[in-house]
């Protein structure tokens, strides 16, 4: 932390010197120069992220027996399905489910969809399907059509989905399913965000089962600089209250950090003893570098957060970076 403060102090001094003696520069050129200086100082101070392109499961430190719950916004379903595919490559059996509602994934050849209206049926059908495929997607039932939701995802959405919503399972089902279904890892989408980039939970959210061992608060980092409105943020008024900022203001790093690491934000409902690894998604490498790094450092101030992962989920293989204290 002292090293980080030292780096910022030197950037501030350099900015003042540049303003005093660099009168020939335009404002934009000054900003670019200071961004470069900040980047170099971060490298010198040891803030060099761990990079890899092998498996997102490694970045999140997922291990056999984990019950992983995804909350927040910015690609929860995509992250779950990509992780399921990765874990199959390690000969894991993966149960994918939700305690809310999700768009129905189009099962791949090594995936099966199970609709079970009761826990008893789920405990019978899921193990049977694991005999045929390593990934089982579980929900209670198929709801009404959702063509509008599918269209809103865009043509470059990285996973295949059907135009239906699936109703999730009660959170109390998760523990017996983890114990008796034969799954090595359980992936749970435990929150909804209406396809927005950022969110704050309401009084009934998220729906995290008490048995969760790893909670992954998520956000789309591309929200930085965009207005704090319903167009980009799910329940913007709640987030504005948590962050103490007005509606419509540009989303600053502090607001993103509140959404991820506030006890009534991304940390709400995390079971005692569960690990917390935030996942920030991006659409392009090095997007908004300075603002994103500022947000990450603020998130890492939380004693509950071990490390932060930044990932480009639409790349193949997934590109990711790990940031630690």
Query: DSSP readout, 113-127?
Result: EEE-SSHHHHHHHHH
Alpha-carbon Rg of the chain, whole angstroms?
A: 21
Rounded to 5 degrees, what are φ and ψ at 62?
Answer: -75, 135
Token pair listed for 317: 């293989």
The dihedral region occupied by 220, where left means phi > 0, alpha psi between -120 and 50, and beta the remainder, is beta
Token pair listed for 232: 């980009």
Rounded to 5 degrees, what are φ and ψ at 296?
Answer: -60, -45
pLDDT band for position 31 (cuts 50, 70, 90): low
Mean pLDDT taken over the chain: 86
The whole-angstrom separation of Cα 281 and Cα 311 is 5
Kindly report, residue by residue over 210-225, the tens digit of the pLDDT. 999 999 999 999 999 9
Kindly report, residue by residue over 124-162, the tens digit of the pLDDT. 999 999 999 999 999 999 997 765 566 666 666 767 888
Show Cβ contacts of residue 159 under 8 Å, excluding neighbours closer than 6 positions: 77, 78, 81, 82, 105, 106
Higher-confidence residue of 26 and 274: namely: 274
Token pair listed for 302: 């939380």
Show Cβ contacts of residue 300 under 8 Å, excluding neighbours closer than 6 positions: 307, 308, 323, 324, 325
Q: In this predicted structure, what is the pLDDT of residue 314?
A: 78
Token pair listed for 42: 């971060």
- Residue listed under structure tokens 């490298």: 43
Rounded to 5 degrees, what are φ and ψ at 321?
Answer: -135, 145
- Is 80 exceeded by the pLDDT of residue 256? yes
Among candidates 69, 313, 57, 23, which has minimal Cα distance to 209? Answer: 69
């Amino acid at each position: 932390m002292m090293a980080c403060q030292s780096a910022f102090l030197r950037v501030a001094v350099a900015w003042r010197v540049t303003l005093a003696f660099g009168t020939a520069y335009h404002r934009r050129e000054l900003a670019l120069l200071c961004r470069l200086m900040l980047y170099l100082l971060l490298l010198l101070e040891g803030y060099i992220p761990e990079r890899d392109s092998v498996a997102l499961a490694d970045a999140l430190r997922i291990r056999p027996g984990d019950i992983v719950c995804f909350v927040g916004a910015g690609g929860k379903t995509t992250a779950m399905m990509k992780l399921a595919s990765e874990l199959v490559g390690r000969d894991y059996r993966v149960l994918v489910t939700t305690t809310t509602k999700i768009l129905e994934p189009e099962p791949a050849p090594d995936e099966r969809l199970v609709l079970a209206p009761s826990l008893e049926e789920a405990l019978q059908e899921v193990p049977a399907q694991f005999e045929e495929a390593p990934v089982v997607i579980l929900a209670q039932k198929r709801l009404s059509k959702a063509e509008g939701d599918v269209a809103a995802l865009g043509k470059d959405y990285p996973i295949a989905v059907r135009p239906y919503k699936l109703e999730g399972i009660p959170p109390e089902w998760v523990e017996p399913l983890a114990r008796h279904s034969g799954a090595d890892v359980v992936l749970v989408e435990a929150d909804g965000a209406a396809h927005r980039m950022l969110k704050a939970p309401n009084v009934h959210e998220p729906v995290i089962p008490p048995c969760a061992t790893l909670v992954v608060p998520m956000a789309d980092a591309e929200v930085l600089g965009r207005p704090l409105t319903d167009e980009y943020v799910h329940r913007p008024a709640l987030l504005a209250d948590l962050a103490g900022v007005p509606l419509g203001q540009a989303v600053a790093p502090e607001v993103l950090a509140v959404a991820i690491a506030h006890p009534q934000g991304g940390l709400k409902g995390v079971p005692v003893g569960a690990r917390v690894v935030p996942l920030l998604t991006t659409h392009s490498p090095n997007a908004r570098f300075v603002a994103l790094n500022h947000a990450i450092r603020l998130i890492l101030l939380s004693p509950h957060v071990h490390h932060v992962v930044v990932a480009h989920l639409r790349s193949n293989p997934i590109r990711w970076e790990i940031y630690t204290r």
